[in-house]
Structure 1
Amino acid sequence: MIGVAVLYPKTETSHFDTDYYHAKHMKLVRDLWEPMGLRGARVMHGQTGPDGKAPPYAVITVLEFDSLGAFGKAASAHGGAIMGDIPNFTDVQPVMQFNEIMA
């Protein structure tokens, strides 16, 4: 199992529309990628830590697939539509990291 982490940096001037993200973008992701092997998605919103510092990321989403190949097929088929929706909810470029899920 792999987890594709999509990290949205947070800056003093960045914008992130969480309502749009949950209602529209994540619905789009699920509608297009669940039939292609998306096993689950977890969305985490960054919070101020106990030290009072702002989080480095506004949102981190982890998308779970059985394999890197399964993600590749889904991304090839519908990645353009999903990536093209990003400007509708944020003005930052997300960072992606591929991870092996161990537990």
Structure 2
Amino acid sequence: MTFTAVVVYPNEPDTTFDTDYYLKTHMPLVAQHWGPAGLKGWSVVKYERDLEGTSPKYLIAATLVWESEEAVKAAVAGEAAAIVFGDIPNFTNKKPITLAGSVIGSQEIS
């Protein structure tokens, strides 16, 4: 069963976020350090508005796909976690909110 971790960054009036750095430097850093630990892939969404057309509560969300829950736990407890988490101040002034869970259903629609 696939396990995912979602990392979201708040969209507050004083939020700073360097999207270019995040995509070109931070996410490759995440893949480099956590790929060997069981990270299978990632995707990033930049929110422009919510479904009502107003400013969204979150600015950016990254979904990290892992081979298992155990892999995530080992990665965030390992030495590489300090490198990954230590890079956050290089692209934002906000602390991320993290969520994790097992994929319990999905469907691709063509």
- 1:68-87 alignment, distance < 5 Å: 68-77=69-78, 78-87=80-89
Q: Is the 8 A contact 2:38 2:68 kept in 1?
A: no
Percent of paired sites with the same residue: 33
Instruction: Count residues with an aligned counterpart.
Output: 103
Structure 1 residues not aligned, in runs of 5+:
none
**Corresponding position: 1:19 with 2:20:** yes
Deviations along 1:29-59, one digit per CA (max 9) or x if unpaired, are 0111111110110101111235331111110
Distance in 2 between residues matched to 1:86 and 1:50, nearest whole Å: 28
CA RMSD in angstroms, aligned pairs only: 1.1
TM-score, length-scaled by structure 1: 0.93
**Segments of 4+ in structure 1 off by > 2 A?**
49-52
Distance in 1 between residues matched to 2:43 and 2:100, nearest whole Å: 15
Distance in 1 between residues matched to 2:52 and 2:103, nearest whole Å: 29
Distance in 1 between residues matched to 2:83 and 2:50, nearest whole Å: 34
Structure 2 residues not aligned, in runs of 5+:
none
Deviations along 1:44-103, one digit per CA (max 9) or x if unpaired, are 111123533111111000101121110111222211111100000000000001121122
